[in-house]
């Protein structure tokens, strides 16, 4: 496994090559030794590092705003973006099926691998080293955070817009579910009865599809 570029991007040299390899091994490649457990740990380590950073940086931010900032930084799409920037997909070990379907480009696989990599660094060294790597990888995103801007998700924005105008709340409904159980795509409709508006959103979960549908409505309303 050639990981020189990965080491250069993270600035970290592993003592345990086995731990690094496990972090980069998808379940489709090996059912016995893969990165699922590391992903579980990495999720918590990442959340703690980001939480600690924004807590100290934004001293006057409320709990709700801090939660929204953190959510925007640790969501799947953001993690996949960071993973792509360091070329993580080129190093993930995937089974034949995932390789053929372009799994190395899939946001879910990339984000999981990044979390596993963070956990591996933590286990191979300590929290401070993991923190150093995470803050380096997320530096541009962290510096771009504007605590004064609205970080509310699309569904919240839409709900507040309607409540402020004494309109009925939107109705969300799953209209289609496709794909295999481990890689499903949900299609959800969002309807505003009072305004006669309707949109559909797609996502890898019902929640994400609802957010996309709400976002589409906001675009219709020029919000």
What is the SS3 assignment for 79?
A: helix
State pTM to two decimals.
Answer: 0.69
Residues annotated as catalytic are 43, 115
The domains of the chain, with CATH numbers, are 4-144 (1.10.1520.10), 154-220 (3.30.160.20)
Phi and psi at residue 88, to the nearest 5°? -60, -35
Task: Walk along the chain (223 residues) and give the pLDDT tens digit of each residue.
Answer: 456 778 888 889 999 999 999 999 999 999 999 999 999 999 999 999 999 999 999 988 888 788 888 988 999 989 999 999 999 999 999 998 888 888 778 899 999 999 999 999 999 999 999 999 999 999 999 998 876 654 467 898 899 889 989 999 999 999 999 887 777 899 999 999 889 999 999 988 898 889 889 989 988 988 7
Backbone CA torsion sign across 146, 147, 148, 150: positive
- Are 172 and 180 in contact, with CB atoms under 8 Å apart? no
Phi and psi at residue 14, to the nearest 5°? -70, 140
Q: What would the pLDDT profile of 194-219 be if each residue is shown by its tens digit? A: 899 999 999 888 988 898 899 899 88
Q: What angle do CA 45, 120, 79 make, to 5 degrees?
A: 55
Q: Helix crossing, 127-137 with 36-57: angle to 10°?
A: 70
Separation CA 121–CA 118 (nearest Å) = 5
Separation CA 215–CA 211 (nearest Å) = 6
């Amino acid at each position: 496994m050639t990981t020189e570029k990965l080491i250069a991007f993270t600035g970290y040299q592993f003592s345990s090559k086995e731990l690094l390899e496990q972090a980069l091994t998808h379940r489709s490649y090996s059912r016995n030794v893969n990165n699922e457990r590391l992903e579980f740990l990495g999720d918590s380590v990442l959340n703690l590092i980001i939480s600690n950073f924004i807590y100290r940086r934004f001293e006057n931010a409320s709990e709700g705003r801090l939660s929204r900032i953190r959510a925007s930084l640790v969501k799947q799409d953001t993690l996949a973006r960071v993973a792509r920037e360091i070329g993580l997909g080129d190093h993930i070990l995937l089974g034949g099926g995932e390789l053929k379907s372009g799994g190395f480009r899939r946001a879910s696989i990339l984000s999981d691998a990044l979390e596993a990599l963070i956990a591996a660094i933590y286990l191979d060294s300590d929290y401070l080293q993991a923190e150093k790597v995470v803050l380096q990888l997320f530096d541009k995103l962290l510096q771009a955070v504007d605590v004064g801007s609205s970080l509310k998700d699309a569904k919240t924005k839409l709900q507040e817009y309607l409540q402020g105008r004494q309109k009925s709340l939107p109705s969300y409904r799953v209209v289609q579910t496709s794909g295999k159980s481990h890689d499903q795509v949900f299609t959800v409709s969002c309807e505003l009865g009072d305004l006669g508006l309707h949109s559909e959103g797609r996502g890898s979960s019902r929640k994400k599809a609802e957010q996309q549908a709400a976002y589409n409505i906001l675009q219709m309303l020029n919000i």
